[in-house]
Amino acid sequence: MRIGIALDYSGGFREGVERVVELEKAGIDIAVVAEAYSFDAVSQLGYLAAKTGTVELASGVFPLYIRTPSLLAMTAAGLDFVSDGRFRLGIGTSGPQVMEGFHGVPFDAPLGRTREVVEICRKVWRRERVRHDGKHYQIPLPADRGTGLGKPLQLINHPVRERIPITIAALGPKNVELTAEIAEGWQPVFYLPEKAHTVWGDALAAGAAKRDPALGPLDVVVHASLAIGDDVGERLAWAKPQLALYIGGMGARGRNFYHDLATRYGYGEVADRIQELYLSGRKAEATDLVPDELVRGMSLVGPRGYVAERLAAFAESGVTTLLVSPLAADPRESVRFVEDVLRLRPA
């Protein structure tokens, strides 16, 4: 199992990079930079590429609606170049609240757009003259929609690799099936190892049945909060505000992917109440309702022996890359937690 660090998009820019530099020396395998309605992830990834030398770098994730497929491919190729072949392109659809509420672009056709984006990116990296006549993207733009002057072009530069690994963030069954079919990696959110097969097993199997063997095994990239010690149990509460935000506030009633996931995990009744409270502005009450059992199952919080058992549970469920977010009081404690988990991880 690979161990990596997930940088918080609301955290300090330089401080996060300094922490990755230190953790690279400790032996982490990957650093993932999130992007929401925050600083863009490209800036921080470029900065990380200049400050590090061995750790893999990844976007986690670039929302595909706000960049053209060709721009995504160009950006990935540029980041792969400045990092000497250490970049992994993480993409996803995000959700309607961010896409429509912050970027002002329609949230539509997530499956079709994802498939076409992946196809176009791989053409760009192979330096083909890009021709794509899809339902959602047409390259070159047809004459009846433009000037008629557009001609197929190829990337000017020669990428370090003609196949940059792609990880797709996906939650719904159809999205997960598509990911297992076409991507090198899959990044679910709020992953509960004991329930993962029940929720996603059929979709993963259906996608794997159509998967090109050249893609290799699917890299399952999962996030977990981390705190190791005999007296860290109360830090489970530190992870609750984010869960409350996503389950309760990331979308409207009937259109919240994270609420749907909590329901599929068996927490539908409490998820409804969290959403009701959050959307009415009672955020503290919503946070208090997040079940300890749910947070504990998705986290690595507790004594060393317990954390070792949870790491084994994640590995047994199919996780191949584990991204940790230390629930730490200071940077030194954060580094110590990661060093400990590196020693505890399954072989």
**Domains observed in the chain:** 2-232+299-344 (3.20.20.30), 233-298 (no CATH)
Instruction: Tell me the three state secondary structure of residue 64.
Output: helix
Q: Where are the alpha helices (DSSP H) in the chain?
A: 13-26, 41-51, 69-82, 96-98, 110-125, 173-182, 193-208, 240-244, 257-262, 268-279, 283-289, 292-297, 304-316, 331-344
Reported pTM = 0.95
Per the model's pLDDT, the better-predicted residue between 94 and 123 turns out to be 123
Q: Interior CA angle at 329 toward 328 and 335, to 5°? A: 50
Question: What pLDDT, on a 0 to 100 scale, did the predictor assign at position 13?
Answer: 78
Retrieve residue 130's tokens: 């890009």
Per the model's pLDDT, the better-predicted residue between 238 and 16 turns out to be 238
Question: What pLDDT, on a 0 to 100 scale, did the predictor assign at position 95?
Answer: 85
| CA gap 60, 184 in Å, rounded | 14
Cβ(313)–Cβ(222) under 8 Å?
no
- Tell me the mean pLDDT in the region 268-285: 97
Q: Could you tell me which of 50, 59, 1 has the C-alpha nearest to residue 31? A: 59
Per the prediction, the chain carries an average pLDDT of: 95
**Residues above pLDDT 70, as percent of the chain:** 99
- Could you report the per-residue pLDDT of 8-36, keeping only the tens digit for each? 776 677 888 999 999 999 999 999 999 98
pLDDT at residue 250 above 90? no
**Residues above pLDDT 90, as percent of the chain:** 89
- Tell me the mean pLDDT in the region 219-233: 97
pLDDT at residue 54 above 80? yes
pLDDT at residue 313 above 80? yes
